[in-house]
C-alpha cells in the first residue's frame, strides 16, 4: 500500500539535540520506516525551503526573529525554550515552518499534505517555549491568508500539551478556529484560551478521549466551515509517553486520526498534517504511531477524497 499523497521532509529537520527527551532523530527514522515498508519511495518526498524572514514576521516579532537569526537569545530565553541554541537548531525551525507551508499548499491541491516535522505549538509571537522556537502552523496560516489562498483555517491540536502559543497568536482572530484537546494537569501551567479547549483529566483513555473530541471537532468543521484544517498530530497522548499523562492505546490514536481525516475529507476540506510531540519510552513506538497517522490518512482518502 503506497501513500497517495506527498510527504514533506528535510534532513535539516533534526537539530541533533543529543541526549534530550525530545527525540529529534525521529524525523529521519519515520522517513526510513516509510521507505523500508514500501509505503513511499524517494519520489514521494518534497523538500521544503526554509520560511523567509518576511513570512516569519507575519507571526513573530522582529525582536524575536532577530534573536534567532543572530544568536542573541538571553539565558532566560533559552531556559524557556528548553533546548540548546545552535545555528542548526534555528535552521531546523525555519525549515519546519517552510515544510508546514509546503504541506498546506499540497493539501489544497491533493487533499492531504503531510509534513514529517512541525507542530511547534508552544512558540509565541515574541518568544519560544517548550522545545518550540517558531510557530510553523501559524506562519503557514498567515502566509496563505496574505496570498489570498484561504480566508479561514481550523487548527485541531491533539498533542497531549495545550497549544498555548497557537491560542495566543490567534486569540483575537475570528478567521482561525483553534481547538486544543490535552491533559489539563500538564505543561504549560498557563493556558491562554483557544476557541475551544478540552481539558482532560489524568489517565483519560480511548473512549473518554474520543467521546470528548468527536462532537466538538465535528461541530467546528460543520459550523465554522474552514477552508483548510491543520492537524497537530501529537502521539504523546499514548499511555507510555514520558511527557504524557493520558492513557490512549495505539488503537485509540488510530481512531483519533481517522476521526480527524474522515470528518474533514467528507466535507471536501483539505488537511495539512504536522507531527508535534511524541516521547514514548521506546522510540520505535513513537515512530510507529507517526507512521500510523499516515496510514490513517490513506484509509480516509480511499473512502472520502474522490474530489482530489
Structure confidence at residue 306 (pLDDT): 67
Q: Domains, the chain, ranges and CATH?
A: 26-304 (3.40.800.20)
Hunting for cell 476557541 — which residue is that? 195
Structure confidence at residue 4 (pLDDT): 85
What does the mean pLDDT of the chain come to?
A: 96
* Average of per-residue pLDDT across 284-293: 97
Count of CB atoms situated within 10 Å of the CB of 152: 16
Residue 179 — pLDDT band, cuts 50, 70, 90?
very high
pLDDT tens digits, one per residue of 120-165: 999 999 999 999 999 999 999 999 999 999 999 999 999 999 999 9
Residue 305 — pLDDT band, cuts 50, 70, 90?
low
Instruction: Determine if the peptide bond prior to 23 is cis (ω within 30°).
Output: no
Determine which helix (DSSP H) or strand (DSSP E) holds 79, and give its type and residue range. Answer: helix 75-81
Q: What percentage of the chain's residues is helix, strand, coil (to nearest 5)? A: 45, 15, 45
Amino acid at each position: 500500500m503506497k501513500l497517495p499523497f506527498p510527504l514533506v521532509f528535510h534532513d535539516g529537520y533534526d537539530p541533533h539535540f543529543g541526549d534530550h527527551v525530545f527525540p529529534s532523530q525521529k524525523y529521519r527514522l519515520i522517513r526510513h520506516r516509510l521507505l523500508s515498508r514500501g509505503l513511499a519511495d524517494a519520489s514521494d518526498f518534497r523538500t521544503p525551503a526554509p520560511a523567509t524572514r518576511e513570512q516569519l514576521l507575519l507571526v513573530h516579532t522582529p525582536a524575536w526573529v532577530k534573536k534567532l537569526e543572530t544568536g542573541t537569545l538571553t539565558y532566560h530565553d533559552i531556559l524557556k525554550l528548553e533546548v540548546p541554541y545552535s545555528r542548526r537548531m534555528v535552521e531546523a525551525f525555519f525549515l519546519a515552518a517552510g515544510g508546514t507551508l509546503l504541506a498546506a499548499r499540497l493539501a489544497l491541491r491533493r487533499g492531504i499534505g503531510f509534513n514529517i516535522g512541525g507542530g511547534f505549538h508552544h512558540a509565541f509571537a515574541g518568544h519560544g517555549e517548550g522545545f518550540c522556537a517558531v510557530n510553523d502552523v501559524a506562519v503557514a496560516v498567515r502566509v496563505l491568508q496574505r496570498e489570498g489562498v484561504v480566508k479561514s483555517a481550523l487548527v485541531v491540536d491533539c498533542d497531549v500539551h495545550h497549544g498555548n502559543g497557537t491560542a495566543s497568536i490567534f486569540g483575537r482572530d475570528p478567521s482561525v478556529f483553534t481547538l486544543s484537546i490535552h491533559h489539563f494537569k500538564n505543561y504549560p501551567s498557563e493556558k491562554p484560551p483557544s476557541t475551544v479547549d478540552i481539558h482532560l483529566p489524568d489517565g483519560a483513555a480511548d473512549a473518554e478521549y474520543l467521546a470528548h473530541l468527536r462532537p466538538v471537532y465535528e461541530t467546528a468543521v460543520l459550523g465554522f466551515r474552514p477552508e483548510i484544517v491543520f492537524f497537530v498530530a501529537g502521539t504523546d497522548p499514548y499511555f507510555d509517553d514520558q511527557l504524557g499523562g493520558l492513557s490512549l492505546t495505539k488503537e485509540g490514536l488510530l481512531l483519533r486520526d481517522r476521526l480527524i481525516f474522515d470528518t474533514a475529507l467528507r466535507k471536501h476540506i483539505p488537511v495539512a498534517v504536522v507531527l508535534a510531540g511524541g516521547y514514548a519510552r521506546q522510540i520505535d513506538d513513537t515512530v510507529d504511531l507517526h507512521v500510523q497517522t499516515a496510514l490513517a490518512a490513506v484509509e480516509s482518502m480511499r473512502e472520502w477524497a474522490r474530489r482530489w
